[in-house]
Chain A
Amino acid sequence: MEIGHRRKERLDRGVKVRTEGLYALMSWRELGYLTMPRLVLIIGMLILPLVMPSMYWQRVISIVCIYALLSLSFDFLAHFVGLVSLGGAFFIGSGGYIAAILNTILGLPPMVSIPISTLLGAVICTLFLFPCLPLRGVYFAIITLMFPLLLGRVIEALDILGGTDGILGVGSFTNSWVEQYFIILMVLFYLFGMRRLVNLDIGLVFRAVMDNDQAVRASGINLTYYKTVAVFIASSMGCLAGGYLAHIYMWAGLSMFALDFSILPIAATVIGGSGTLVGPVLGAFILVPISELLRAFGTLRIVFYALILLAFIVFRSEGIMVYGQRKYQQFEKWVKV
């Protein structure tokens, strides 16, 4: 053995190992270690509307939550099922138009029209994407990118559903607190729901589909069924966000098919840490406010935005959550070899 050579050893913290078992319930410290990150996230999100200085920033929180849902849906599809989806705009548009129609024509209040648009929108999105499910990688991405463009042009050309003006006069939430807490609770619900889901048996199948779909087929599992379920779950998140968006803007229009809804979730996922589910949500909570703050720079906004993104990708390409989780769960020490 040569003297003088040393390397950094990375070990799990004792408290992390202990809290993986039943022993977590034996001491407050370990219980705290286990629940602290989750509590910080939940409480932090719940007090956000209270600490926002103005109506404007409260509205920003709602938009952040919409992007958080889209990012969650992107991360789930891309890193747990292996379908790279650029369908954010497609989901938002479908959900938004359905909610707007339900509200203006049938007169349903937001609390009814949003759940219906979530389910109905998810069904419609899944039906549209169903023929494309055998595609993988960049081909699926292209298809999902084409659908919002297609629907947008159809609405414009045929002048249906309000044409270029969009559907005006959509009813809003009666109370601004209800408006904000509704979407915050939905983000939390989906976030913890998805984390649970990917650890269930069905989540295991999803991850297997991503790794090697031939082996999954060879194990006698119906590939198309599981992909359909995954797309349904992911598009329900996007449609929920879309329906909500229609109600807070009191309008559903062509800009709901804007590419922002497809692209920003990817950036949020990269920044937050892909494959962590909570990472993309955090990424949305960082990116959207930054983009609002940068409005002061006027047209240079996009330049600064791009620079921040570039810096993240070059210097911290693993993402905030991957880095944070490692620091929280492991410690490092120098050892001689």
Chain B
Amino acid sequence: MLEASGLMVFYENMLALNNVNIYCGENQIVGVFGANSAGKSTLMYTLSGIIEDIRKKEEMAGGERVNILGEIQYLGQDITGLKPSQRAKKGIVLCPERRRIFKECNVMENLRIGGYLASSSQAKNTMDYIFKTFPALEKLKKRVGGFLSGGEQQMLAIGRALMAQPKLLLLDEPLLGLSPLVQAVLVRATKEIREEKGLSIIITEQYARPVLPIVDYAFVLENGAAVMEGDREELMNNPDVRSAYFGV
């Protein structure tokens, strides 16, 4: 479904992604694991096209130059260099790190903004689906985004991404700063969404253990390079990975 090859991203002279090859099959959940500064978020920005936006803004302000090399194939098309909005139209939707929900809009409004690309019947169905998947949001429909708890905000962020009718959902650290209980809810929901909506998901996380049971395939990033890849068992059986990312 998605295949990125030779991705290299430079922030000025700093190499954030070094020749990363990553792919995601139809209806798969792919995990990307790595420590802070391993390049997870940059990878997500590059796949979703946000990096093009960052590049342009930095250029306008005379800040650091962002160089992006490599190519991304999506559903047989070359989408390298496409704007984030065009990629979203094609179905690649990013649920950004730290949620970035619209703090001054309430839950319904947040979802409606996310559903800008969807037709009204699609939007309605997705909204029903989101409230079914995350019953906690149902009661908070009129609550302003900034007053939601961390877990509710993350549910809302995933819901907002779903409203854009993704075919490939990019979840950037969805479990950041959440309690184990909420983490379990979100992981279960992610799995359900994959099965019921039939979409592909790329999920990044620092600590692999809560996510690992649901991923089909995973990559491990280290200092911007993909140092290891494999399916769940392969990763679980590797002693280095076990100690570094599972805390075993």
Contacts and interface: CB of A to CB of B under 8 A. Distances in A.
A9 B60 CA distance: 18
Contact of B60 (A2, A10, A317, A323): A317
- Of the four ranges (under 10, 10 to 19, 20 to 34, 35 or more), the interface on chain B belongs to 10 to 19
A323 B62 contact: yes
A11 B62 CA distance: 15
Contacts of A337: 8, 10, 67, 69
Contacts of A11: 13
Interface in B1-16: 6, 8, 10, 12-13
Interface in B40-87: 60-62, 65, 67, 69
Interface string B1-37: 0000010101011000001000000000000000000
A10 B61 contact: no
A136 interface: no
A326 B62 contact: yes
Given A317-B61, A323-B62, A5 B69 contact: yes
A7 interface: yes
A293 interface: no
Interface string A296-326: 0000000000000000000001110011001
Contacts of A322: 62
Given A2-B6, A11-B13, A337-B8, A318 B62 contact: yes
A9 B15 CA distance: 11
Contacts of B10: 7, 337
B62 A7 contact: no
A1 B60 CA distance: 30
A9 B13 contact: yes
Interface in B77-131: none
19 contacts: A1-B19, A2-B6, A2-B69, A5-B69, A7-B67, A9-B13, A10-B65, A273-B62, A317-B60, A318-B60, A318-B61, A318-B62, A319-B62, A322-B62, A323-B62, A326-B62, A337-B10, A337-B67, A337-B69
Interface of A: 1-2, 5, 7-11, 273, 317-319, 322-323, 326, 337
Given A2-B6, A7-B10, A10-B65, 17 more contacts: A5-B8, A5-B69, A9-B13, A10-B13, A317-B60, A317-B61, A317-B62, A318-B60, A318-B61, A319-B62, A322-B62, A323-B62, A326-B62, A337-B8, A337-B10, A337-B67, A337-B69
